[in-house]
Structure 1
Amino acid sequence: MDGTLEVICLRHAESENVVAGVSGALPGAPLTERGRVQAAAMACALTPVDHVYASTAERARQTAEAISHSQGVPVTAMPGLVEVGIGSLEGTADPATRARTAAVLRAWVVNGDLDERVGDGETGYAVVTRIAEAFETIATAHRDGGAVAVVGHVASLTAGLSALCGLGSAVWGAPLPHAVPFRVLLDDRTWRCVTWPGALPETTPAALPGA
C-alpha cells in the first residue's frame, strides 16, 4: 500500500426479510420503506468516499445506490460480500433455525470454531475466506489509499472482520444496526477495525448477531 485505505463498512438498511424474521442470504429481499429512508439519511451524512462496494443482494445494492446517488461515485457488486448461506434452510421463519444461526455465529466469532454451519449451509471457513478475499480485492484496486464504502450483512461482516482484524470475542454483544457506518483501516498491510457500533471507546469493538 502506498497510503492508508479507509473502508467505511455498514450493514444494509432495514429490509423485508429482517422485518419478516426470515433466515438466510435471501438475495432478492428489498429494503422496506423505512430502510429506504435510513439509506438516504445515512448517505447524506456519510464522509466522502471514492467508490462503493456492495453485496449482490438487493437490499445491499439499494443501500449502496443511495450513497452513489448522494456522492456521484460508482458502485461495484461483489458476490463475496453476501450474507451467510444456510443451504436447504434458506428462507425459513422457524425460530429454531434463527437460534441455531446465532449459536453458529457465536461459535465462529467467540470460540473460533469455523467448522460449524447451519444445516447444510456455509462453514465459517467459507465465509471468512470470501470476506477476506473481497477486502483484498478492494485493497488491490485502491493501492494509493483513499476512502471507500462497503455495504454488507450483519453475520458475514462480523465473522469476516472478526477474523481479518483479529477481533475475536470482542465483537460479540450488540448486533450491527442497519445503515450505521464503522471504520476499518488498511495500513502497511494490516487491517484494523477502529470503530464498531455499540462499542464504548473508539478502539474497543463490539457486535452481533441478526440477519
Structure 2
Amino acid sequence: MSDHVRLLCMRHAESENVTARAAGALPHARLTPRGHEQAAEAARRLAGEGITHVYTSTAVRARQTAGIIGHALGLDGVVPLEGLTEMHAGRLEGSADPAVRVRMLETLRSWIVDGDLDAAAGDGEDGHAVTARTVAALTSIAAGHPGGTVAVVGHVASLTAGLNALCGLGARVWGAPLPHAAPFLVEWDGRSWRCEAWPG
C-alpha cells in the first residue's frame, strides 16, 4: 500500500466568535446561519474525493462544520482531536478589543514570518505549544491513513502554524488568512509534506 496521504484541510465555517470579533480559542462558539451554508458548500466540493474520515478540532464550531460534511458524505461520524484547537489567548480569551486582535495577529506573524516561536499574546500559548500539538495531530492523522484521503477541520492560526512547520509556508502565505470552509490539499508522501495550494 502506498504511504501517500491526502489531507483536505480547512478552517471551520463562519461562527459567532468571528462575527463578534472575539479573540482566542473560544471552544463553545457556534456556527452562524451563514456558517451552516458554508459547511454544506464545502461538503459539495468534497464529494467525489474519496474521503473516508473527517477529523476536527474539539471546538463546537469545528465539530459542527465537520458534522455537516461527514453527514453529507455518508460517513458514520467525525473524530475530534484536541491538538487541532485554536491558539489559546490566556486572560485575553474572548476579548473583542481591537487592540487584542492586533496583538494576536502580531503573535501569529512572529511565528510564521519571523520564525519566532517564543512569541505569545499576553499569557496565552506560545508558538512552540501551538505548533507542536498541531503537528502531532496532523502527523498522527497521516500515519493512520496510508494511501487514503481524509478531511481535517481546524482553525486559522493553529492550522497555519502547524502547516508552516511541516511545509515551510513562511511569508508567502502572510496576508492571505484561511477563508472559512475552503478545502485545500496537503499531502504526505511518506518522506515529506507538501502544501502546494493556499486558498487565502
Task: Identify whether the pair has TM-score above 0.5, normalized to the shorter chain.
Answer: yes
1:93 maps to what in 2?
96
The CA deviation at 1:2 is 3.1
The CA deviation at 1:188 is 2.5
Matched, 1:164 2:143: no
Cα deviation, 1:27-86, whole Å, max 9, x if unaligned, reads: 000000010011111112213311000000000000000111011223100000000001
Cα deviation, 1:78-112, whole Å, max 9, x if unaligned, reads: 00000000111101111111000010110000000
Find the partner of 1:149 among 129, 148, 151.
151
> Contact 1:48–1:71 at 8 Å: present in 2 too?
no
Which ranges in structure 1 are unaligned for 5 or more consecutive residues? 199-211
2:193 maps to what in 1?
191
Bigger mean CA offset, 160-169 vs 81-90: 160-169
Q: Distance in 2 between matches of 1:188 and 1:90?
A: 38
Superposition TM-score, scaled by structure 2 size: 0.95
Matches within 5 A, 1:12-91: 12-46=12-46, 47-73=49-75, 74-91=77-94
Q: Distance in 2 between matches of 1:101 and 1:173?
A: 14
2:18 alignment partner, SS class: helix
Q: What is the alpha-carbon root mean square deviation over aligned residues?
A: 1.1
Matches within 5 A, 1:196-207: 196-198=198-200
Q: Distance in 1 between matches of 2:73 and 2:65?
A: 13
Q: Distance in 2 between matches of 1:148 and 1:139?
A: 9
Matched, 1:137 2:140: yes
Amino acid of the structure 2 residue aligned with 1:147: T
Q: Distance in 2 between matches of 1:163 and 1:140?
A: 17
1:180 maps to what in 2?
182
1:208 maps to what in 2?
none
Name the count of aligned residue pairs.
197
Cα deviation, 1:135-177, whole Å, max 9, x if unaligned, reads: 11112211x3210000000011111101111122122121110
Find the partner of 2:115 among 112, 115, 120.
112
> Contact 1:6–1:147 at 8 Å: present in 2 too?
yes
Identity of aligned residues (%): 59
Superposition TM-score, scaled by structure 1 size: 0.91
Q: Which has the higher contact order (CA 8 A, sep 6+)?
A: 2
Cα deviation, 1:115-136, whole Å, max 9, x if unaligned, reads: 0001100000001100110011
Amino acid of the structure 2 residue aligned with 1:51: H
1:204 maps to what in 2?
none
Which ranges in structure 2 are unaligned for 5 or more consecutive residues? none
Q: Distance in 1 between matches of 2:111 and 2:171?
A: 9
The CA deviation at 1:189 is 2.4
Amino acid of the structure 2 residue aligned with 1:84: M
> Contact 1:162–1:171 at 8 Å: present in 2 too?
no
Q: Distance in 2 between matches of 1:158 and 1:132?
A: 10
